[in-house]
Amino acid sequence: MAIVEKRLYPRLSLRVEDGYFGNFRLDDQETLVAPIVNISAGGLCMVADARGKIRQGAIFILRNIIGGANFSFVSEISGDIRWIKQLGSPNQVSVGCRFHNMTDSLRLQLTKFVDSERMVRGQYD
């Protein structure tokens, strides 16, 4: 039986080794730099230190993304932390984030970027 995709926006799967890092400002004004393991026009998933101040429901600003392909068009995107899951390592968690109030033009640009990168990486069915 085929898996049915329930996501509104296709996501680009990344590995920590790919070297894409999000630069975040949390709602307590603390900064966080964390590897991104997937991204779509709807949000992203990152890996963070479980000992940090990450908490479900927290608001953040994604200031920019560094590494790999050109993400210069991604800046100052607000969002919230939807879920946190423990990873195999005792000090690492997977953090699911949703973007808020993204302009239509930025959402379209990010969607096109994700589609293009998925094609290059063979991530289409």
pTM of the model: 0.88
Helix, strand, coil shares, percent, the chain, to 5: 15, 40, 40
C-alpha distance from residue 104 to each of 80, 81, 109 (Å): 19, 22, 9
Residues in the chain: 125
Q: What's the pLDDT score for residue 20?
A: 93
Q: What's the pLDDT score for residue 2?
A: 54
Which fold does the domain 12-112 belong to in CATH?
Answer: Thrombin, subunit H (2.40.10)
Q: What is the pLDDT of residues 4-16, one digit of tens each?
A: 666 789 999 998 8
The CA distance from 12 to 117, in Å, is: 7
Q: What's the pLDDT score for residue 125?
A: 59
